[in-house]
């Protein structure tokens, strides 16, 4: 299924310069080598690697959706609240004694539904994505409070932890394998399927894409709903990682997701970026996080490190594209 739309400008197969992914790989290698050395091997312990893979997977799954959203020229800053609200609603079902089979769809549908709300506000309401989702960020969090009251939900079925986190296949925790599978599917989809090519066309030039017969509204709608769905799934995985829902569940999460995506080279001016970049970006974010813990650095440095890395990485690539100056 080749993508060339009649009359549309030909979209190069890989818009992202290979250089960026190489740069990320080198960064990652340096970080891993440094942390491995200074943590006296603690980095390479099975427990640490498993933790690293599990948290990377939980960030990576919504990051796949976020990559597509950003590729279309949008953004969603409400993802953390969405994760919290999905966990609160799904967790309430668990607490009410619902079976796993009945509750999993609740997670997925809640996530997709919240993504749909964002999509409608952005597409039908014509609200700039950052402002619409800044609004829903606070609204979803308010609803988390309404749902939970002052309670914590701890009745999470242990099977979640066992299946997703404890069990291994091919040397990796199962969540990590699932996340990798998603990355491969999404990557193939973006590269070889018509809708995937449309995502790039739309991000490059919305007006041109529209003239070429692409319907931007549909693609954007699909992107936000897909992000919601993946976030709903991530909420389920979060409960496998730590079996508890509280009012703060998911706060701060979106920053990691967006950091991973933009660090991976996906550009907010749209039309540029790959899933491979997002995978590497996620690993860099999580390795920094892990390194700060292992090297006994004050955890407060985490934000500073991420901020600096993002500015440096994007600043370098966007100035290079602009022709230096």
Partner 1 sequence: MHASGFDRTRPLLLAAMAVLALAGFAIGHPDILSGANFDSMAVFGVEIGMIALGQTLVISGGDSGIDLSVGAIAGLAQVVLGRLLHADVAWPLAVAVTLGAGLGLGAINALAVTWLRIAPIIATLATLFGYAGLALVLSGGTNIDLTQQSSWFLALGQGHVLGLPFQLIVLYLPLLAMFAFLQHGTFYGRALYLTGTNDRAAALAGLRVGRLRGAAYVLCGLTATIAGIVGAARLGTTRPDAGMNDNLISIAIVVLGGTGIFGGTGSVVGTALATVVIAIVDYGLSYNDFNPIYQAGVIGVILIGVILVENPVLARRARRLK
- Does 157 sit near partner 1 (CB under 8 A)? no
The CB-based long-range contact list for 33-39 (8 Å cut-off, 24+ gap) reads 34/291, 35/287, 35/290, 35/291, 35/294, 35/295, 38/295, 39/291, 39/294, 39/295
How far, rounded to the nearest angstrom, does the alpha carbon of residue 55 sit from its chain's CA centroid?
Answer: 11
Binding mask 236-265 for partner 1 (x = CB under 8 A): -----------x-------x--xx--x---
User: Helices in 152-252 by DSSP H: which ranges?
Assistant: 158-160, 174-192, 194-204, 206-211, 216-241
- Whole-number Å distance between alpha carbons of 36 and 45: 10
How far, rounded to the nearest angstrom, does the alpha carbon of residue 261 sit from its chain's CA centroid?
Answer: 7
CB nearer to partner 1: give 104 or 130. Answer: 130
- Does 172 sit near partner 1 (CB under 8 A)? no
Shortest gap between Cβ of 272 and partner 1 (angstroms)?
Answer: 12
Scanning 1-9, 23-31, 131-139, 216-224 for contacts with partner 1 by CB under 8 A, the matching segment is 131-139
- Does 149 sit near partner 1 (CB under 8 A)? no
CB nearer to partner 1: give 21 or 76. Answer: 76
Q: Which of 96, 101, 170, 322 binds partner 1 (CB under 8 A)?
A: 322
CB nearer to partner 1: give 199 or 258. Answer: 258
Contact 20, 265 (CB under 8 A): yes
* Stated length of the chain: 325
- Whole-number Å distance between alpha carbons of 168 and 162: 10
Q: Which of 145, 158, 184, 192 binds partner 1 (CB under 8 A)?
A: 145
The torsion angle over the Cα atoms of residues 229, 232, 236 and 238, rounded to 10 degrees, is 120
Binding mask 196-235 for partner 1 (x = CB under 8 A): ----------------------------------------
Q: Which of 20, 141, 197, 220 binds partner 1 (CB under 8 A)?
A: 141
Residues that bind partner 1 (rule: CB under 8 A) add up to a total of 45
Q: HSE, CB side, 13 Å, CA atoms: give it for residue 252.
A: 7
Q: Which of 25, 28, 95, 127 binds partner 1 (CB under 8 A)?
A: 127
3-state secondary structure of 212: coil
Shortest gap between Cβ of 315 and partner 1 (angstroms)?
Answer: 3
Binding mask 282-311 for partner 1 (x = CB under 8 A): ----------------x-xxxxxxxxx-xx
Counting runs of H as helices and runs of E as strands, what totals does the chain give? 13, 2
Shortest gap between Cβ of 88 and partner 1 (angstroms)?
Answer: 13
CB nearer to partner 1: give 62 or 173. Answer: 62
- Whole-number Å distance between alpha carbons of 266 and 73: 10
- Whole-number Å distance between alpha carbons of 228 and 184: 19
Q: Which of residues 57-86 bind partner 1 (CB under 8 A)?
A: 75, 77
The CB-based long-range contact list for 101-104 (8 Å cut-off, 24+ gap) reads 104/236
The dihedrals phi and psi of 275, each to the nearest 5 degrees, come to: -70, -35
CB nearer to partner 1: give 139 or 172. Answer: 139
CB nearer to partner 1: give 148 or 178. Answer: 148
Q: Residues in the site for partner 1, rule: CB under 8 A?
A: 75, 77, 121, 125-128, 130-132, 134-139, 141-143, 145, 247, 255, 258-259, 262, 267-269, 298, 300-308, 310-311, 314-315, 318-319, 322
């Amino acid at each position: 299924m080749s993508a060339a739309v009649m009359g549309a400008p030909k979209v190069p197969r890989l818009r992202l310069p290979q250089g960026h992914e190489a740069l990320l790989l080198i960064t990652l290698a340096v970080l891993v080598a440094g942390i491995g050395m200074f943590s006296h091997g603690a980095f390479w312990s099975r427990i640490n690697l498993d933790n690293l893979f599990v948290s990377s997977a939980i960030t990576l799954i919504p990051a796949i959706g976020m990559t597509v959203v950003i590729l279309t020229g949008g953004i969603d800053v409400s993802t953390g609240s969405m994760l919290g609200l999905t966990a609160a609603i799904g967790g309430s079902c668990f607490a009410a004694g619902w079976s796993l089979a009945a509750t999993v769809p609740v997670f997925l549908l809640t996530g997709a539904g919240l993504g749909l709300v964002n999509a409608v506000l952005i597409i039908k309401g014509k609200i700039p994505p950052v402002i619409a989702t800044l609004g829903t960020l606070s609204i979803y969090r308010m609803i988390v409070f309404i749902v939970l009251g002052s309670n914590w939900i701890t009745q999470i079925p242990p099977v979640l932890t066992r299946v997703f986190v404890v069990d291994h296949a091919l040397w990796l925790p199962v969540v990590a394998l699932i996340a990798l599978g998603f990355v491969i599917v999404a990557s193939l989809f973006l590269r070889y399927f018509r809708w995937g090519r449309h995502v790039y066309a739309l991000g490059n030039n919305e007006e041109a894409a529209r003239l070429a017969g692409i319907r931007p509204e549909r693609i954007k709608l699909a992107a936000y709903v897909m992000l919601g769905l993946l976030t709903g799934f991530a909420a389920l995985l979060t409960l496998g990682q730590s079996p508890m829902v509280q009012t703060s569940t998911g706060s701060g999460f979106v920053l990691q997701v967006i950091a991973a995506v933009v660090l991976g080279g996906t550009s907010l001016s749209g039309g540029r970026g790959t899933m491979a970049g997002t995978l590497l970006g996620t690993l860099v974010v999580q390795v920094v996080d892990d390194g700060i813990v292992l090297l006994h650095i004050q955890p407060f440095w985490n934000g500073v490190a991420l901020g600096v890395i993002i500015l440096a990485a994007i600043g370098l690539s966007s100035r290079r594209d602009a022709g230096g100056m």
